[in-house]
């Protein structure tokens, strides 16, 4: 009987302690994620400092319109260890979306890997994605609408509300204010809007991100529509409180409104 009582007490204590330990573990991963993003912010700061304030050219962004200068490679000399590109909540690689082309696509708790697409196999992986609108694309055939929306350099106002690098299932995204939210939690990135691609419930109803002023903070999933993703982005659009947001998907209804 005494042994059974001891076992019961231990079981009770374990039931109390395990959730607390899980929360502590998650908080530690959140702190490490923010630390990684701070390092990445410093890397972008050094890169732009060495390039007259301009960001890298990005996907098919060089003047020949067929060559790329991805952030994952352009900024690598400044961040060194590739593991800093991994959020501790998403270090395992995702699924192979299109063999020989995309490589592994990430998810809420899975990292992406570009494999041979962005260089030699295994040369590019992470669980953060760039706001593609910051890129300094140099392709002369880019449409005027797309070109004028780009930030291109750091000499702009409101940098504390311009996202730079965030939790994401792929290397980059180009959100628009009219993009619908993800239809369900962890929606496949290929079947949603660019805003929905970033909508991963990785950190208790939000994601972590570094902004163009290199500050790092938590971003609520609904708050994402209030950020200034590009020069013409409406921060009071239909998916914000100011724009009368309604009809959120069921999985998002209980998240904080912005």
Q: What is the pLDDT of residues 23-77, one digit of tens each?
A: 557 677 889 999 999 999 999 999 999 999 999 999 889 999 988 899 998 999 9
Q: How confident is the model at residue 136 (pLDDT cuts 50, 70, 90)?
A: very high
Q: Is 5 a member of any domain?
A: no
Contact between 216 and 38 under an 8 Å Cβ cutoff? The reply is: yes
- Token reading at 186: 């962890």
Judge residue 157's burial from the number of C-beta atoms within 10 Å of its C-beta, 0-12 exposed, 13-18 middle, 19 or more buried: exposed
Mean residue pLDDT of the chain comes to 88
Q: Report how far residue 76's alpha carbon sits from residue 83's, in angstroms, rounded to the nearest whole number.
A: 11
pLDDT band at 4 (very low <50, low <70, confident <90, very high): low
Distance between CA atoms of residues 198 and 206, nearest Å: 10
Residue 80 domain flag: yes
Residue 101 lies in a domain: yes
State yes or no: pLDDT of 17 exceeds 90.
no
pLDDT exceeds cutoff 60 at 98: no
Torsion region of 192: left, alpha or beta (phi above 0 gives left; psi -120 to 50 gives alpha): beta
Instruction: Measure the CA–CA gap between 246 and 162, rounded to whole angstroms.
Output: 24
Q: How many domains does the chain have?
A: 1
Burial per residue of 214-247, b for 16 or more beta-carbon CB atoms within 10 angstroms, e otherwise: bebebbbbbbbbbbbbbeebbbebebbeeeebee
Q: How far apart are CA 176 and CA 194, in angstroms?
A: 7
CA nearest 75: which of 155, 121, 32, 134?
134
Q: Quick check: is 14 in a domain?
A: no
137 within 8 A of 57, measured Cβ to Cβ: yes
pTM: 0.88
Confidence class for position 22, pLDDT limits 50, 70, 90: low
Decide if 115 is inside a domain.
yes
Q: Half-sphere exposure of residue 112, counting CA atoms within 13 Å on the CB side?
A: 28
Question: Would residue 177 count as lying in a domain?
Answer: yes
pLDDT of residue 121: 45
Asked if the structure places residue 1 within a domain, the reply is no
Q: Domain residues for 62? A: 27-252
Closest to 72 in 3D by CA, of 58, 60, 62: 58
Query: Assign residue 125 a region: left if phi > 0, alpha if psi is -120 to 50, beta otherwise?
Result: beta
17 belongs to a structural domain:
no
């Amino acid at each position: 009987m005494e042994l059974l009582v001891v076992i019961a007490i231990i079981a009770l204590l374990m039931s109390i302690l395990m959730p607390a330990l899980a929360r502590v573990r998650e908080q530690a991963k959140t702190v490490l994620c923010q630390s990684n993003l701070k390092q990445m912010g410093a890397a972008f700061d050094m890169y732009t400092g060495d390039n007259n304030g301009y960001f890298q050219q990005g996907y098919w962004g060089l003047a020949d319109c067929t060559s790329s200068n991805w952030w994952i490679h352009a900024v690598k000399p400044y961040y060194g260890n590739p593991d800093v590109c991994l959020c501790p909540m998403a270090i395992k690689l995702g699924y192979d979306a299109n063999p020989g082309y995309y490589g592994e696509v990430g998810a809420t708790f899975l990292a992406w890997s570009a494999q041979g697409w962005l260089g030699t196999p295994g040369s590019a992986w992470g669980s953060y994605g760039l706001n593609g609108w910051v890129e300094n694309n140099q392709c002369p055939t880019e449409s005027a609408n797309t070109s004028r929306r780009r930030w291109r350099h750091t000499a702009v106002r409101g940098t504390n509300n311009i996202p730079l690098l965030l939790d994401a299932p792929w290397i980059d995204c180009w959100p628009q204010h009219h993009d619908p939210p993800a239809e369900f939690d962890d929606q496949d990135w290929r079947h949603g809007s660019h805003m929905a691609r970033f909508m991963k419930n990785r950190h208790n109803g939000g994601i972590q991100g570094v902004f163009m002023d290199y500050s790092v903070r938590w971003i609520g999933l609904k708050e994402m529509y209030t950020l200034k993703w590009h020069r013409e982005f409406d921060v009071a659009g239909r998916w914000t409180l100011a724009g009368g947001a309604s009809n959120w998907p069921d999985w998002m209804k209980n998240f904080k409104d912005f």
